Structure formats: structure tokens, C-alpha cells
Amino acid sequence: MGQGVAEAERERELSKQALAAHVSALESRVREELDWRARLRRDGVRYAIIGTVAIAVTVSVLVLRSRGRWKEAPPVVVTSLDDVAAQLEEIRKELGRRRKENGPLWQRVALRAATTAAAAGGTAVARRAMERMGDAEPPAAAATGGEPRG
């Protein structure tokens, strides 16, 4: 009977040690999760990206709402490069007129970013239109390097 009691006490000690190890591991995990400095070092870049995207979306929504831009624009039909240039000039004039209006700083910064994006987009659209017009050129004009001779 003494041997059974000694074995049971040994098992109880081993269980206590295993439980203590599990508790200390759990305690270290909880401390790690609650340590905001370590978490910021580990996930800081992700938080910065999420914050930047959230701010950009918020500013965009506020600017669009304040300008009444929720209406869908009519589809634009591009027939020539002159049409693209005329539309870009209209957009530049409209943005220039709005830039001169006084408003909050965030609105002026967002409008400046929109102007830059519109200029870059207009350049890309014009480049694509030129490429398409170049692809649609008749073979005789492409072979002579310009207008077909008549």
C-alpha cells in the first residue's frame, strides 16, 4: 500500500509540474499579447498601411460628397485625339476653377491630389488613343510612314 501512495504522489507532482509549465506558457502568451510596444514593433507597418488607406478613403468620400459627385457621369465617346484634348482641357479648367475656391486644408490637398491623378489619367488615355489610332492606320499609310499618296 505504501508503494501505491508513493506512486500516486509522484504522479501528482508530475501533474503539478506539467500544469505549472502550461500556466507559465499561457502567462507569457498573455503578456506578449498585452504588450502594446512589442505588438506595435511587430505589426506597425500593417497598422500604418491600414490607417493610410482608411484616411484616403474617408477624404475621398468627403470630397465627393461635398462636391455632389455621386451622380454617374455620362459615357465619353472618343472619336479623335482632338476630342480627347478638348475633354482634358475642360477637366483642367474645372479643376483650376475649383482649386481657386477657398476651403478647408484637407479639401485643397485632396483636390490637388485629384488634379494630379486626372492629369496622369488623361496622359494615359491620350497615349492609349494614339496607340489605337496607330493600330487602325491603313497598311498603305503605315508602309509609307504617313499619309497615303494619292
| pLDDT score, position 35 | 85
Residue of 42 and 73 predicted with greater confidence: 42
What confidence tens digit (pLDDT) does each residue in 7-28 have? 889 999 999 999 999 999 999 9
Q: Say yes or no to pLDDT of 68 above 90.
A: no
Q: Say yes or no to pLDDT of 71 above 90.
A: no
Measuring CA to CA, which residue among 68, 57, 37 is closest to residue 113? Answer: 57
What is the identity of the amino acid at 68? G
Q: Say yes or no to pLDDT of 148 above 80.
A: no
Q: Say yes or no to pLDDT of 141 above 50.
A: no
What confidence tens digit (pLDDT) does each residue in 82-130 have? 887 888 888 888 877 776 666 677 777 777 787 787 777 777 777 777 7
68: left (phi over 0), alpha (psi -120 to 50) or beta: left
| pLDDT score, position 137 | 55
pTM of the model: 0.30
Residue of 23 and 69 predicted with greater confidence: 23
Measuring CA to CA, which residue among 139, 69, 75 is closest to residue 107? Answer: 69
Contact 112, 99 (CB under 8 A): yes
**pLDDT band per the 50, 70, 90 thresholds, residue 149:** very low
Interatomic CA distance for residues 19 and 53, integer angstroms: 45
In sequence order, what DSSP letters do the residues of the chain get, joined into one string? -HHHHHHHHHHHHHHHHHHHHHHHHHHHHHHHHH-HHHHHHHHHHHHHHHHHHHHHHHHHHHHHHHHTTTSPPPPP---SHHHHHHHHHHHHHHHHHHHHS---HHHHHHHHHHHHHHHHHHHHHHHHHHHHHHHTS-HHHHHHTSSPP-
